[in-house]
């Protein structure tokens, strides 16, 4: 069949002002391509050879494996992105360069867990001179390239992040304690520490920030806190978790309380 062609050399040839659209003897379609290599070949020498993909409300199962759709929804750096059906779910293509995890959380509770030395276990505040994980966060975001995947990369109960793939991750967390009298003797300080463990649970890195204070503030209360920012390489399955060590009170059993609004108690993890 020829449209605008008296003697077609293929089963179907359509002549346009830009060139021919053909269907060859194997059923392949060539758009301005004389010898298509795949089921539909758009790879002519021209510059305007794009494919338009529309949206659909069909489920991934109804659309079937291999179906494509465009999702007109904002993500990181873009106003929309492509998804394909795996037969069960719509799976997002990463819309802007490489995939990027973004986790954000804040902390309005007093919960911690002492995990080294004496008095191990859950606490309601930071105990003096004890290593304590900061637990019970409120998760604000846990997305992959702006798309909520339903996969919990961050566990707000434990404060632990698990890397879904190898790469460099930028992580920062801050904490502020309620104004208090600083009354310890020597080594008055607060520490904010990021801990990295591999998938077997072995500690591979600890990065810390140390803030020092005058040895005694007398009767004057003062703000106390710390923050730690790192860029670390994580293998798939590695775990990243914040913890603290403080020495601001003379009595080891004293618990320092977090500033209650949670404004200064926050963490962010971004894949680079």
Distance CA 270, CA 258 (A): 25
Say if CB 43 and CB 33 are below 8 A apart: yes
Pick from 119, 117, 129: nearest CA to 184: 129
What's residue 96's pLDDT? 54
Residues sharing a CB contact under 8 Å with residue 34, sequence separation 6 or more, in sequence order: 20, 22
Pick from 10, 54, 55, 7: nearest CA to 31: 10
What's residue 95's pLDDT? 59
Order of strands, sheet of 90-92, starting from the edge strand that comes earlier in the sequence:
68-71, 81-85, 90-92
Distance CA 112, CA 130 (A): 11
What's residue 98's pLDDT? 62
Distance CA 55, CA 139 (A): 31
Say if CB 256 and CB 223 are below 8 A apart: no
Q: Please say if the pLDDT value at position 118 is more than 70.
A: yes
Q: Residues of the chain with pLDDT > 70: what percent? A: 90
The chain-wide mean pLDDT, for the chain, equals 88
Instruction: Compute φ and ψ for 179, nearest 5 degrees.
Output: -50, 135
**DSSP letters for the chain:** -EES-SS-SSSEEEE-SS-EEEE-TTS-EEES-SS-SSSEE---SSS----------S-HHHH-TT-EEEE---BTTBS-EEEEE-SSSEEEPPSSSS--EEEEEE--S-EEEE-SSSS-EEEESEEBT--EEE---EEEEEEETTB--S--SEETTTTEEE-SSSEEEEEEEEEEEEEEE----SS-EEEEEEEEE-TTS-EEEEEEEEEE--S--TT-EEEEEEEEEEEEEE-TT-EEEEEEEEE-SSSTT-EEPBPTT-TT-EEEEEE-
Provide the token pair at 186: 């020597």
Q: What is the mean pLDDT of residues 17-42?
A: 86
Say if CB 171 and CB 232 are below 8 A apart: yes
Q: Residue 74's Cα: distance from chain center in Å?
A: 16
Pick from 61, 57, 77: nearest CA to 69: 57
What's residue 222's pLDDT? 79
Name the band, by pLDDT with cuts 50, 70 and 90, for residue 212: confident
What's residue 6's pLDDT? 79
pLDDT in tens, 133-174: 999 999 998 988 766 666 789 999 999 999 999 999 999 999
What's residue 147's pLDDT? 66
């Amino acid at each position: 069949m020829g449209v605008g062609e008296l003697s077609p050399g293929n089963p179907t040839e359509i002549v346009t002002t830009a060139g021919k659209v053909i269907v060859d003897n194997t059923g392949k379609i060539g758009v301005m391509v004389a010898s298509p290599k795949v089921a539909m070949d758009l790879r002519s020498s021209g510059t305007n050879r794009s494919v338009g993909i529309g949206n659909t409300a069909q489920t991934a199962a109804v659309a079937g494996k291999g179906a494509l759709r465009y999702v007109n929804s904002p993500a990181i750096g873009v106003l929309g992105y492509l998804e394909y059906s795996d037969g069960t779910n719509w799976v997002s293509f990463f819309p802007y360069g490489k995939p990027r995890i973004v986790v954000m959380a804040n902390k309005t509770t007093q919960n911690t867990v002492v995990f080294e030395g004496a008095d191990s276990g859950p606490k309601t505040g930071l105990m003096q001179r004890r290593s304590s994980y900061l637990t019970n966060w409120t998760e604000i975001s846990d997305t992959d390239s702006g798309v909520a995947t339903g996969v919990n990369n961050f566990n707000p109960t434990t404060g632990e992040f698990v890397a879904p793939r190898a790469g460099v991750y930028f992580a920062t967390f801050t904490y502020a304690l309620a104004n208090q009298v600083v009354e310890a003797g020597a080594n008055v300080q607060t520490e904010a520490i990021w801990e990295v463990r591999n998938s077997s649970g072995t500690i591979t890195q600890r990065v810390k920030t140390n803030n020092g204070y005058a040895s005694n503030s007398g009767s004057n209360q003062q703000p106390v806190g710390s923050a730690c920012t790192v860029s670390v390489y994580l293998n798939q399955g590695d775990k990243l978790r914040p913890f603290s060590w403080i020495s601001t009170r003379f009595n080891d059993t004293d618990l320092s309380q977090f500033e209650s609004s949670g404004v200064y108690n926050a963490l962010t993890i971004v894949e680079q």
